[in-house]
A and B are shown apart, each in its own frame.
Chain A
Amino acid sequence: MIKSHPAQNLLRDYVAGDLNSASALVVATHVDMCPHCQRHCSAIEAELSAEVFQNSAQLGDSDMQLMLDAIFSSESAVEQRPLTAETSHDGMISLEGKRFKLPRSLARQQARIGPWNKMIGNMWRASLSLGTDEVANLIYMGQHCSVPEHTHRGSELQVVINGTFSDEYGQYSDGDLLLLDGTHKHTPHTNDEDCLILAVMDAPLHFTSGISRLLNPFSNLFFR
């Protein structure tokens, strides 16, 4: 049962197409997994379309006719790109002997997922190249894994794809979406379950306690 959903304004920006690609992908992944937010998105689409289409611009008859003629003589874009059948990809990823089924939004992105790199501890990371300036990463935390306490210098959007992790604020499982920023100081960890996360970050983490500060010069290597 998904407990943590995007805020109304985040969902609205997503539906309006106003989020950057990486953030939109995180929200899309949550929505894929969350029937509640799917209904919400449909409602927002209806609202936005009503709002947007209240206004009309002047369009002369001859211009309209020209456009119509062009449309009627246009070829149907022949199956531009099979959106779902990235045929060689099965929507599964394998890591550490386990297989994960990707939500639809991510399965479409399977070809963009780079190689898995081991970070320190029982953590792995694969970046998703979205062809944009933003960075999205899949992060896998094995069982009994913990990340030292840190804050987020920019903001970070995460969605749990599979598994469970906890921090000082709660426990997050499949589909839960988190928005973290500089006001959150937290220590994520897993217990008996492992966890696969999609994360989008706009600045490296900043570790805040004790010896983990040793990580700060490398934080951009691991956590970006």
Chain B
Amino acid sequence: MQLQPNRDAPRTVMKTTKPDEAEHLTRLLATVAGDRCRRSFSELFRHFAPKLLAYGSRQFGNEQIAADLVQETMTNVWHKAHLFNADKGAPATWIFTIARNIRFDILRKNKHRRDEISADELWPVLAETSDSWGDDYALDHGILMQEISGYYAKLPDAQRVVIEKIYVEGKSQQEVSDSLGIPLGTVKSRTRLALRKLKELITE
């Protein structure tokens, strides 16, 4: 479940890109966003594409899918550069979260249905509008054992005895058969009937 073996590397080493580089990349993103500058984007692309490809290869073990991840991630960067907010973090971090979302969806799309929850729903990295939910979740304004017992009381005696021996006393069906002196087949059918009846009572 980890991306890299050096999970325990000291924090200081992880302190992302050098400030100069981050600033430079931020300026590039700004010109992409403001001026649709292809030259700036190309520079961003040359910087990030090989890194994204390495990430994708490690995640998927497949060069083609890795290339798709690069393409899809950088396409988003090209169209959504205006959503980058330098106050929230470095360009590398933002681009990583875009790639993370795409990876999440690729891994699931392979085997699942269309209505599946998507990464953007979990991490709205590229949401156009920032939602306005406040932080207050204030309210506008027991499973009772008696109740369970009540359901069991509605069973015919013969069934209830069997159920209680099995589920409360923890006896096996054979033991119940022996102790009550009734055939094993009868114990099984009473158990089955009782469970069906209880299910009806509880879920109705």
Q: Which residues of A contact B (CB under 8 A)?
A: 12-13, 15-18, 21, 24-25, 28, 33, 42, 45-53, 55-59, 63-64, 67-68, 70-72, 74, 76-77, 79, 81-85, 91, 97-105, 107-109, 112, 117, 119-123, 129-132, 141, 144-148, 161-163, 174, 189-190, 194, 210-218, 221
Contact = CB atoms under 8 A, between A and B. Distances in A.
A144 B143 CA distance: 9
Contacts of B20: none
B79 A221 contact: no
A90 to B, nearest CB: 11
14 contacts: A15-B100, A18-B2, A21-B116, A45-B97, A46-B89, A50-B16, A59-B50, A81-B120, A121-B143, A131-B113, A145-B142, A162-B137, A194-B139, A217-B167
Contacts of A122: 142
B90 interface: yes
Given A17-B103, A57-B54, A163-B139, A83 B127 contact: yes
A47 B79 CA distance: 25
B108 A221 contact: no
Contacts, number: 242
Contacts of B136: 101
Secondary structure class of chain B's binding surface, majority of residues:
helix
Interface stretch (B146-154, B172-180, B181-189): B146-154
B57 A57 contact: yes
B142 A50 contact: no
A83 B202 contact: no
A147 B113 contact: no
Nearest to A193: B139
A99 B55 contact: no
B143 A99 contact: no
B55 A55 contact: yes
Contacts of B115: 129, 131
Contacts of B38: 72
Nearest to A147: B143
